[in-house]
């Protein structure tokens, strides 16, 4: 077998869209193509176009959201089991990420643990929809309301998912998506914020263009700001027309192609691997519709490395999502102990999942997993 763990699924339509920007428009920076992508994302989510702020990565989207709603020096509660991007977005904005433990059954933030880490400086909570799972999202918002916190959803895994019938990003406070090369849809690199607070939307929109006021609107109208004032720190975090051209094609392929392919492969993995001794699968809410970005298994009884080795021999790559951030030097180097996340780190194995994997390949991978985990 020669299978990739994850990959971009792009082809002639994306290539034609990029060619069109180069040969017909000729402006490669942030202009009409980005404006159209934002309008199409807004229509797809059922929000207003000005609520969508595209950025050049998902990390940049998170950074802008944190800067807009958390005061300098404020603390943000973040589950430790996430990509280091979530933590860097907070610390890069001069705010403090506070690692929290996760739930064993889902890998998502444990609100009881988060509650113990509240201080008078806590300003926000950043739930991560781990493995595309928006588990207990209302409980997170209730927790935030009770404690006067903002919510910044790291929904990098969750584009296309529905919680109890509602699309992730169609409601909430600040919701951040990633469109990097291997996410549910890609714009090459890229990401976006969906902001439900008009002031935060404006701050994010300006801050992605060096906090030059209303520069995004001017660029969409084909002009620029020349005589401007700047009152806040900003960044060069905007999306390009080239990226947006790819993103628009990818968005049009999500419902008919990518989402059903990802759902079907994950369902097959579940069917083949549930009830296998020595393995556990993460839980999801049957009322949610998940478009899975990654597929995780928990390999119990210390057999994780044996399973990874067996799969490697069979030509099947596996991944690690994630080394808990509180173990990284920058975030404390293991000074605090978050036992559930540490245990999951010793069990979780990521199996190949993307629309380029075939059903036969999933069956072969599952056979190898069953054999090695016994
Ligand atoms: C991919 C990802 C990000 C960052 O997105 P980029 O577009 O790669 O910068 C943030 N958080 C999580 C959980 C991710 O998987």
What distance in angstroms lies between residue 83's CA and the mean position of ligand 1's atoms? Answer: 6
How would CATH label the architecture of 12-249? 3-Layer(aba) Sandwich (3.40)
What distance in angstroms lies between residue 1's CA and the mean position of ligand 1's atoms? Answer: 28
Pocket of ligand 1 (CB under 6 A): 57-59, 82-83, 85-86, 128, 154, 156-157, 178, 180, 191
pLDDT at 373: 85
Pinpoint the alpha helices (H) of 119-274: 137-147, 198-207, 215-220, 241-253, 259-273
Q: Where in the sequence of the chain do the CATH 3.40.640.10 domains occur?
A: 12-249
Whole-number Cα distances in Å, 64 to 82, 87, 154, 175, 334? 18, 13, 12, 11, 28
What is the chain's pLDDT, residue by residue, as a tens digit (374 residues)? 579 999 999 999 999 999 999 999 888 999 999 999 999 999 999 999 999 999 999 999 999 999 999 999 999 999 999 999 999 999 999 999 999 999 999 999 999 999 999 999 999 999 999 999 999 999 999 999 999 999 999 999 999 999 999 999 999 999 999 999 999 999 999 999 999 999 999 999 999 999 999 889 999 988 888 889 999 999 999 999 999 999 999 999 999 999 999 999 999 999 999 999 999 999 999 999 999 999 999 999 999 999 999 999 989 999 999 999 999 999 999 999 999 999 999 999 999 999 999 999 999 999 999 998 87
What distance in angstroms lies between residue 329's CA and the mean position of ligand 1's atoms? Answer: 20
Nearest one of 303, 309, 318 to 349, comparing CA atoms: 318
Q: Which atom of ligand 1 is nearest to the CA of 322?
A: 13
Closest Cα to atom 6 of ligand 1: 58
What distance in angstroms lies between residue 227's CA and the mean position of ligand 1's atoms? Answer: 35
The pTM assigned to this predicted structure is: 0.98
Q: Which atom of ligand 1 is nearest to the CA of 180?
A: 7
In the structure encoding, which two tokens stand for residue 350, read together? Answer: 């990521």
pLDDT at 144: 98
What distance in angstroms lies between residue 32's CA and the mean position of ligand 1's atoms? Answer: 26
Q: Where in the sequence of the chain do the CATH 3.90.1150.10 domains occur?
A: 254-373
71 contacts 118 by C-beta, under 8 angstroms: no
The continuous run of DSSP H or E covering 369 comes out as: helix 359-373
248 contacts 44 by C-beta, under 8 angstroms: no
What distance in angstroms lies between residue 59's CA and the mean position of ligand 1's atoms? Answer: 6
Best residue among 6, 83, 179, 187 to mutate for probing ligand 1, ranked by most atoms within 8 Å of CB: 83
Q: Which atom of ligand 1 is nearest to the CA of 85?
A: 10
What distance in angstroms lies between residue 323's CA and the mean position of ligand 1's atoms? Answer: 14
Nearest one of 293, 214, 298 to 261, comparing CA atoms: 293
Q: Which atom of ligand 1 is nearest to the CA of 189?
A: 7
**DSSP codes of every residue in 314-370:** TT---B-----GGGSGGGTTTSS--HHHHHHHTTEEEEP-STTS-HHHHHHHHHHHH
Fold exhibited by the domain 254-373 = 3.90.1150
CA 264 from centre of chain: 21
């Amino acid at each position: 077998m020669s299978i990739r763990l994850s990959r971009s699924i792009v082809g002639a339509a994306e290539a034609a869209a990029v060619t069109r920007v180069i040969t017909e428009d000729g402006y490669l920076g942030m202009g009409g193509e980005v404006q159209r992508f934002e309008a199409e994302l807004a229509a797809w989510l059922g929000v207003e176009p000005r609520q969508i702020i595209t950025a050049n990565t998902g990390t940049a989207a998170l950074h802008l959201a944190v800067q807009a709603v958390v005061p300098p020096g404020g603390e943000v509660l973040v589950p430790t089991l996430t990509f280091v991007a979530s933590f860097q977005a907070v610390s890069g904005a001069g705010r403090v990420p506070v690692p929290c433990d996760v739930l064993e059954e889902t890998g998502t933030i444990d609100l009881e643990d988060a509650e113990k880490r509240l201080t008078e400086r806590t300003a926000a909570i950043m739930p991560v929809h781990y493995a595309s799972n928006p588990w207990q999202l209302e409980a997170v918002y209730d927790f935030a309301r009770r404690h006067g916190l903002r919510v910044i959803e790291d929904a990098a895994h969750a584009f296309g998912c529905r919680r109890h019938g509602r699309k992730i990003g169609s409601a909430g406070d600040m919701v951040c998506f990633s469109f990097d090369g291997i996410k549910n849809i890609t714009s090459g690199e890229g990401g976006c914020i969906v902001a439900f607070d008009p002031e935060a939307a404006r701050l994010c929109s300006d801050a992605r263009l060096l906090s030059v006021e209303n520069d995004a609107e001017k660029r969409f109208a084909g002009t620029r700001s020349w005589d401007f004032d700047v009152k806040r720190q900003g960044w060069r975090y905007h999306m390009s027309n080239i990226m947006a051209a790819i993103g628009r094609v990818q968005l049009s392929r999500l419902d008919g192609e990518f989402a059903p392919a990802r759902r079907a492969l994950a369902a097959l993995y579940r069917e083949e691997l549930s009830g296998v001794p020595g393995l556990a699968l993460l839980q999801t809410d049957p009322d949610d519709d998940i478009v899975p970005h990654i597929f995780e298994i928990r390999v119990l009884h210390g057999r994780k490395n044996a399973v990874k080795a067996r799969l490697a021999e069979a030509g099947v790559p596996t991944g690690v999502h994630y080394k808990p951030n509180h173990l990284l030097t920058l975030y404390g180097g293991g000074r605090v102990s978050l036992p559930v996340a540490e245990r999951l780190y010793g069990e979780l194995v990521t199996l190949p999942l993307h629309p380029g994997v075939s059903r036969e390949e999933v069956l072969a991978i599952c056979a190898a997993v069953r054999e090695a985990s016994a």
